[in-house]
Amino acid sequence: MPFEVFMRACLYDPDYGFFATGPLRSTKGGDFLTSPEVSPWFGRIIARHVQEEQRRLAAERFTVAEVGAGSGSLIRPLLAALAAPTPEVWVVDASPAARASLEEQVPSAGVAAALDDLPESFIGVLVANELLDNLPVALALRAAGQWQERRVTVNDHGRLVLVPTAARTEVAEWADRYCAGTPDGGLVEVQLEASTWLNDALARLDRGSLVVFDYGGTAEELAPRRTQGTLRTYRAHHLGPDPLDEPGETDVTVDVNFTALEEVARQAGASVEVLRQDDYLNAWGLSDVVSDLRHRELSLARDGDPMERLRLRSERTDAETLLHPRGLGDFRVLVAQK
Ligand SMILES: C[S@@+](CC[C@H](N)C(=O)[O-])C[C@H]1O[C@@H](n2cnc3c(N)ncnc32)[C@H](O)[C@@H]1O
């Protein structure tokens, strides 16, 4: 089977998929720690962007939607930081455990399982953090100056293995376009489903902004990683086994190719920017928040409550984690505005 069919089953199969079964994955005790799980300032800062769009668009009905909303740790501080008027809110997640948490955590929101369940047309802001890295990919291998595809099959010993096959046209075209210069032996993940997702999301957004955060980079930035590819698994906050070894038991993920997304958004008529996460958050004031927290902490150091000082310190260090230049700060943000 093509790798994207295998990856879709690993993540979303109703009986065995990593996201379809088991507990909530994006928590401190779960499998990965994301920006909104690290600090509520992630959601609060995005609220400033939302507020600005609310002002710019002055729409009677304004919607805030989050796809891949996990535990609700982004949308809750975001909504709490918004001044009136209250927007219409949608939270979407493929995982039943996440939807159960969202129904409890964000009772005012419509809860849905897929982007397709959102209103067909709305004005507002759509946010997604660490979603697109999960969307199923095809695998292409550069061999003798051509693209081959690697598909999943079962060998004579009953083991899952990757086998080379001729590349489908759309796979070879995508790889040619966004992975030019890949040397022989180089492996790339062909992210057609991420492009389809972005196109569908922008088709629903009549006016407003779509803001997508993830790890990855531009096609050029990803070039040095093409010898091995970026496909990997995560479990319990650590890199997991080979994706073929324990299907359904781990997160399967890739670095997102933001050049491909940028082109899709442009073709959909949006004006587009790709920034680093630290630059995006600082542009909306996170560095000011951090220095304010530091000043308050210092003034408490002289004659204040030591517990409050410790609380401020941990709030500040969590907020700083969002900006770490080799960590979360190095994530990319695609802002597509219509
Ligand atoms: C890495 S977690 C991130 C969760 C949350 N955004 C955060 O930052 O903490 C990815 C989330 O997206 C959900 N998800 C994965 N694929 C999805 C899809 N195609 N549509 C909707 N949700 C999806 C998963 O169930 C999971 O909750």
29 domain residue, yes or no: yes
Give the residue from 154, 172, 188 where a domain finishes.
188
Domain assignment present for residue 85? The answer is yes
In this structure, the answer to whether residues 103 and 228 fall within a common structural domain is yes
Same domain for 239 and 179, yes or no, is no
Whether pLDDT at 335 is above 80? yes
Report whether residue 19 contacts ligand 1, using a CB cutoff of 6 Å: yes
Q: CA–CA separation, 91 vs 67, rounded Å?
A: 6
- Residue finishing a domain among 188, 212, 227: 188
Strands 122-129 and 63-67: parallel
- 79-88, 123-132, 199-208, 234-243: which has the minimum mean pLDDT? 234-243
- One domain, residues 128 and 195: yes
Q: How many structural domains are present in the chain?
A: 3
Task: Output the average pLDDT for the chain.
Answer: 94
Reply yes or no on whether the pLDDT at 236 is more than 70.
Answer: no
Q: Is the pLDDT of residue 86 over 60?
A: yes
Q: Give yes or no for residue 68 CB within 6 A of ligand 1.
A: yes
Ligand 1: does its nearest atom lie under 6 Å from the Cβ of 130?
Answer: yes
Distance from Cα 70 to the centre of ligand 1, integer Å? 6
Same domain flag for 316 and 329: no
Choice between 169 and 223, residue whose per-residue pLDDT is larger: 169
Q: Are residues 126 and 142 located together in one domain of the fold?
A: no
DSSP summary character for residue 179? S
pLDDT the model gives residue 235: 79
**Residues 163 and 36 reside in one and the same domain:** no
Written as one letter, the residue type at 31 is D
pLDDT of residue 139: 97
User: Is position 38 within any domain?
Assistant: yes
pLDDT at 31 over 70: no
* 97/162 same-domain check: no
Assigned domain for 100 exists:
yes
333 and 316, same structural domain? no
Ligand 1 centroid from CA 42, angstroms:
16
User: 216 and 97, same structural domain?
Assistant: yes
**Type of residue at 12:** Y
pLDDT at 25 over 70: no
211 and 233 co-located in one domain = yes
Backbone angles phi, psi at 264, to 5 degrees: -60, -45
For residue 4, being part of any structural domain is answered with no
Out of 188, 223, 254, pick the residue that ends a domain. Answer: 188
241 vs 217, higher pLDDT: 217
Flag whether 9 is in a domain.
no
**pLDDT of residue 311 exceeding 80:** yes
Helices (H), the chain: 3-12, 35-38, 41-57, 75-81, 96-105, 169-178, 192-204, 219-222, 258-267, 277-283, 286-303, 306-321
* Any ligand 1 atom below 6 A from CB of 94: yes
Domain of 121, in residue numbers: 14-133+191-282+324-337
Residue 12 CA, closest ligand 1 atom number: 16
Q: How confident is the model at residue 27 (pLDDT cuts 50, 70, 90)?
A: low
Dihedral pair phi/psi, residue 166, rounded to 5°: -65, 145
- Asked whether residue 205 is assigned to any structural domain, the reply reads yes
Contact 338, 205 (CB under 8 A): yes
More confident residue, 128 or 299: 128
pLDDT at residue number 302? 79
Task: Quote the pLDDT of residue 237.
Answer: 67
pLDDT tops 90 at residue 24: no
Q: Quick one: average pLDDT of 279-291?
A: 98
Residue 15 makes CB contacts below 8 A (sequence gap 6+) with 21
Among 43-52, 168-177, 301-310, 327-336, the least confident range:
301-310
Ligand 1 mean position, distance from CA 247 (Å)? 18
**Distance from the CA of 177 to the center of ligand 1, in angstroms?**
28
Whole-number Å distance between alpha carbons of 193 and 115: 13
**257-281 pLDDT, tens digit each:** 999 999 999 999 999 999 999 999 9
| CATH number of the domain to which 73 belongs | 3.40.50.12710
Per-residue confidence at 80, pLDDT binned at 50, 70, 90? Answer: very high
| 216 and 311 share one domain | no
5 belongs to a structural domain? no
Q: Tell me the helices (H) and strands (E) count for the chain, helix number first.
A: 12, 16
The per-residue pLDDT for 22 is 75
What pLDDT does residue 33 have? 77
Are 49 and 114 members of one domain? Answer: yes
Lowest mean pLDDT among 25-34, 42-51, 60-69, 74-83: 25-34
